[in-house]
Amino acid sequence: MCAETISPHRHDVLLVIDVQNDFCPGGALAVPQGDAVVPVINRLAAGFEHVVVTQDWHTPGHESFASSHPGHDPFSEITVAYGRQTLWPDHCVQDTNGAALHAGLALPGAELIIRKGFRREIDSYSAFFENDRKTPTGLGGYLRERGFQRLFCVGLALDFCVRFSAEDARKQGFETIVVESACRGINLEGSLNAALQSMRQAGVTLMQDAVLA
């Protein structure tokens, strides 16, 4: 994998997305090789002055859980108030071990944790907006008020939360880079390739790997 050299500066942020136990091997919604991102993220984080972290933070009985819809299986789709919604296994339930950040993450400089998906009736993939595409998490305002300009996105899963976070970052006017070596995808019915194509079209820079200058 070809690595590009990066030199983070004071207007850059490393955005670490949903590296939680339930998305890692053994978790309720495990992303294949999800824990492989941890050492890569730790290596990158050592070079960033500014780090922001997100967590999926669902209520019990969340609308996006298949268990909340008798007769529907995980990974099927239903129509909800804001459109089509994939139904997931119960995951990242508030104050459970599955919702905790992976214990191997070393992010002592993390300045903010954004919790998303805590409204029972609305799922949330993006670090910027809930899935109704109208309800903000507050991250955009925080980044602008702090004067940040460029985001490096890493984490889980590449084809869902990383994708929507990166695309929304571009819509919010931030230069946005996704470091693929620090991400893993679910690849649900071709969602991985679709995500990569969509991010490119949205103006997101895809970087296979990165090393610090």
The residues that are catalytic are 18, 116, 161
CA distance 121 to 117: 9
CA distance 153 to 163: 9
Residue for token pair 């976070």: 165
CA distance 186 to 37: 14
CA torsion sign for 192, 197, 200, 206 is positive
DSSP string, 43-64: HHHTT-S-EEEEEE-BPTT-TT
Please state at what angle helix 163-171 crosses helix 191-201, rounded to 10 degrees: 10
CA distance 1 to 207: 10
Cβ proximity of 129 and 171 under 8 Å:
no
Pairing between β-strand 83-86 and β-strand 77-80 as defined by DSSP bridges: antiparallel
Among the listed residues 18, 16, 32, the one whose alpha carbon sits nearest the alpha carbon of residue 185: 32
